[in-house]
Each structure stands twice: as C-alpha cells, then as structure tokens.
Structure 1
C-alpha cells in the first residue's frame, strides 16, 4: 500500500530527513529535565521555528516534537493524561509548517521509547505498551501527521508493541533502533536480527534503520549490516553529528557541517535511502547534507577502513554480527538529542 512517504521516496529516490530535536530546543532555552512536549502548547512559536529550520535547510521530512509524548514518560511530570493532546498538537504545528512550505514536505510523527523495561525482564506488559503506543499514534494521526516515526528503540519487544499500536491507529510508520554497544542495541539486538524481526512483523514498517547510537562511523557500519541482510524495505540512517564532548558545562557534538555532508553521501552509498541527523545536528549541517546529496552521484559502498578514515574510528572492534559484543542488558530509554 502506498502512503505519502512511499510516494515521495519513489519520486526522489533519496530523502533528507531532519536533524536534532533536543539540541535545537536546548539552544532555544529548554532546561534539562523539562519535557520538550510541553512546549507544543506553551511555546508553539519555538516548535514552529524548530520545524521551519529543517524545512528551510532542505529536509524532505521532519519529525514532530512528540518523542516523549507517552503516558509512561509524561507520568514523571504528572501529565500522563496529556499524551494524546501533546501528540496531536505536535502534529498540528507540523502540518501548519509543511502546508506553507511552498513544496512537498512530510510530517513524521516522532514516537520514542516508553522508558520502561518490558516483561519478562521488566514489569511493563505487552498489552499496556501497545495501549500507550496506540494513544500516541492516534494523537499524531489526529493532528495530521503523514507517517509515524518510531525511534531510539533498544528492545525488540517494544518495537513489536509499537507496530501493533500503529496498526490500531491505522497509521503507516517507519521505525529505527539505536545501536550503541559494540554494534548492538543496549538490549542486545544486532543489525542482522533487526532486519529479520522487521520483515516478520504482521504490520511491517514502511522503512527501518538506525538512529542516534554513538558516532556516525558506527551507524554506517550498522547500515552496512542492514544492507548485507538483503531485506526488502528502505533503510534509514540518522546518525549523530560526531561524538559528544562535555565542554564548559554543556554537551557539544564535534561533527562539522562538512563532515556530516560526507556522512550523508556515504550513508547513501552504504544502502540508506532516507538520511538525516540525530543528536547535535543543526540546520547548518542539513544545508551541507542537502547540497552534498544533490551534487554527488551514488557510488560504491565504502569499506570499513574508508568509513573510519573519513568519519573517525569505530567505538568497538565488533559490529555485533560476529557473535562478539555484549549480551542483553536492561536499559531505560533515553531522549533523542
């Protein structure tokens, strides 16, 4: 079945997604520990500015400010009953920006992890997780989002629950996981295992891939793992703008716009057809990524040595698919940067 996302991808071949949400909002004055989703109602002009920054930089799609708009996360702020509302308003603001962009731009409804550990390791039941994902997805759909966008997931159980939630809402979706521990997610999923899981789902995503994690080098190694598994669905690459460093009391990402431009071209060569940035990625990075993708023809997949020489060394020797690396370990979801 077609949807606005598949139609645009079919037309253009490669889509440029957006950059960071948290990094940009912190630069606007969001305080650490405050839920960004409250700004959908309290500071809508800032959220519109966030969206427009990506659009004006050349993005084909941007994610809504709804990463933590689920009952489990909002409960930390005594706002669990606002999940649907905050998701809906995030999408409505996005719809306003997309519809006045002067070109076709897609609104992707961001859905992050619940922050809870699912059974049998943790206490969150499958049924309750599905209910929470359904509520968020329904709010996004009500607000006019073109597609749901699951991101920064570590546990396969949570990914499957989200797939059911999107199905109940009747919303097409994409879904990425975060690979940040020797080529695996923190719950032990490898790139190869993710491809198998995604293609076995009753409600398969429109596209799948990786976001966040450590550096861009590690993310591209994961994308190569996706491509090697020869799945049928488009691949998403949404890597961080370099490596985070603590400088004068603030987290700073060292990836320059020029480096992210090279990353974007290499991501496409690795097999990704939807390419964006995650933590630390600002509109200036996106401008350079857009220009590089538009001016550079697709080439051969780079070797691991080429990736490391251009983008920096890998954080581990193993990509997780060789049997090396960590086993599953409990983790609480973290906010997308």
Structure 2
C-alpha cells in the first residue's frame, strides 16, 4: 500500500527519524509531573520549536507531542475529555512545520501506552483500550498526520488493541516496543516474538521495531534479533542517547553526538531502515546521525563484540531469546518517551 512513508522510504532507502520529546521540552521549562500534551495549546511556540529542531537537524520524520494523549493518562490532569483536541492540535502544529520544510518530511502521530494493565492481568478491557487508541488516532488523523506511531509498548495485548484502534480511524501506522528487561519487554515479549506478532496482525503496521529501553547496545542487539527472522516489514531503531545518569537533580544521558553517529550507522548495518533517537537525543545528536548516515555506505551486520567495542557493554548477558545467547543468525548481517 502506497503512502507518504513507504514512498519516501522507497526513494531514499533509509530515513532519519527524530530524537527525544521529553528531554527537549524539559530543557524548555516543562516541569516534572506536568502533561507535555497541554503545551500544544498553552505553549504552541515551544512545540513548534521542538518540531523544527528535528527538521532543521535533518530528520525525514518526526513525532507529534501526543505520547500521553489518551483518556487514562490525561485523567491524571483532569483533561480526559480533551484527548481528541490535544492530539489534533499536536498534529496541526506539526503539519505547519512539515509543510514549510522545503522538502518532504513525514509527520508521525505519537501514541504511547495507556498506562493501565490489560486483562487478564489487569483491569483494562480490550474494548476500552481499542476505544482509547481510536480516539487518539482519530484526533491525529483530523490534525493531518501522515501516519500513526505507536511506541514504548510492552504488552502484546496493548499492541494489538492499538492496531485495531488505528484501523478504526483509517490511519496507517508504525509501532515499536521497548525491550528493557534482559532483552525482553516488561511483559516478556522477545525480539523474535514481536516479529511473529506483527506479521500475524490483520491490520498490521507499515514498519516495526524498538525504542527506548536501556542503552544503544541493547537496542541494536534487539534489532539483530528482528533481522534474524528476515521480516517483510521495515525495521525501526530509536535508541537512547547513552545511559541515564542522575546529576544535580536531573537525569542526563551520556551519549555524545559522535557516539550517536556511530550508533546510527550500526543500526542501519544491523538491518534498520528507519533510524532515530529516543531519551536524551537532542538536535546536535541528530545532526551527527544525519552526517554519519549520509557519508558512510551500508556495511555488513556487526557482531555483538563489535557493538560492545563501539557503543559499550550490554546491560544483561541474555538477549531474551533461546537459551540466553545471541540471536541465532545464519549470516552477518528498548513512563515517557524521551
């Protein structure tokens, strides 16, 4: 199915996505505990600055400020009745930036987890989850996004509910999960398991992958796990800018622009074709990633040892699959986002 994302990916071969949302907004004055989505209407000039930061740094695709725009999240701020409005406005601001970029830029409507645990472990029903995702997706579509972008999901049940919500809204989408527990998502999904899941969906994504999680090394090991299954869909890699460090009352990420440039090239070599950053990734990181991707040709998939030597050690010995070893490959070659 042809759409803006698949057409641009076919034209360019790989795409640079954006970086962090939260990190950048905190640097603009957002306070911990505040809902970033409220800034779409209260501080629109700052949201436009966030979007333009990604576009001016060379991103081919950027996400809207709508990660927590669902009834469950916004209820914490007394704004559960404003989901559609806040999602729509986030998209309208993004559309303005993309349409004045002077080149083709994809607007992706960010959709994060509900924050509730789904049945049978929790109390959130499938029907209620589908409606939450549908409401967000419809607002984003009304505001003009090119695609939806599900991210930081850990439960397969929630991923599937989101797929149904996007389908009801008639919005094509991409979706990533966060592999942050010894190579698995918090709810136990492995890289191989995710491939099986997305390929079995009736209303599946245009592309899939991993975001956030722990360090960039772990995320690339997950990408290798995806690639080992030879999936038909494009792979997304959105890793954090290094490892979080607590300093002077704030979280800082230790990844330098140079390191993120190396990460971007290695992500492409691992098999990803949509490559960006997550927590801690600033415009200067994106500039370095753009330069590295544009100046270096695609190479063979790196070994695990090569990933460690360039990006640092894994956070766990296991990638979450098999008996605890590396992804089996026939050949060489991740509350709030960012």
**TM superposition score normalised by structure 2:** 0.97
Aligned residue for 1:171?
A: 171
Q: Distance in 1 between matches of 2:61 and 2:133?
A: 21
Aligned residue for 2:82?
A: 82
Q: Equivalences for 1:100-249 in 2 at 5 Å?
A: 100-249=100-249
Aligned residue for 1:67?
A: 67
What is the Cα deviation at residue 323 of structure 1? Answer: 4.3
Q: Distance in 2 between matches of 1:272 and 1:70?
A: 29
SS state at 1:301 partner? coil
Q: Distance in 1 between matches of 2:232 and 2:54?
A: 29
Aligned residue for 1:293?
A: 293
Q: Distance in 1 between matches of 2:54 and 2:72?
A: 29
Deviations 1:155-186 (A, max 9, x none): 00000000000000000000000000100000
What is the Cα deviation at residue 230 of structure 1? Answer: 1.1
Deviations 1:279-311 (A, max 9, x none): 000000000000000000000000000000100
After superposing on structure 2, the runs of 4+ consecutive aligned residues of structure 1 that deviate more than 6 Å are none
Aligned residue for 2:336?
A: 335
Deviations 1:116-142 (A, max 9, x none): 000000000000000000000000000
The Cα RMSD (Å) is: 0.8
Q: Runs of 5+ in structure 2 lacking a partner?
A: 326-334
What is the Cα deviation at residue 19 of structure 1? Answer: 0.1
Q: Runs of 5+ in structure 1 lacking a partner?
A: 326-333
Q: Distance in 2 between matches of 1:87 and 1:123?
A: 25
SS state at 1:77 partner? coil
SS state at 1:211 partner? strand
- Equivalent pair of 2:317/2:324 in contact (CA under 8 Å): no
What is the Cα deviation at residue 322 of structure 1? Answer: 1.7
Aligned residue for 1:278?
A: 278
Count of aligned positions: 329
What is the Cα deviation at residue 197 of structure 1? Answer: 0.2
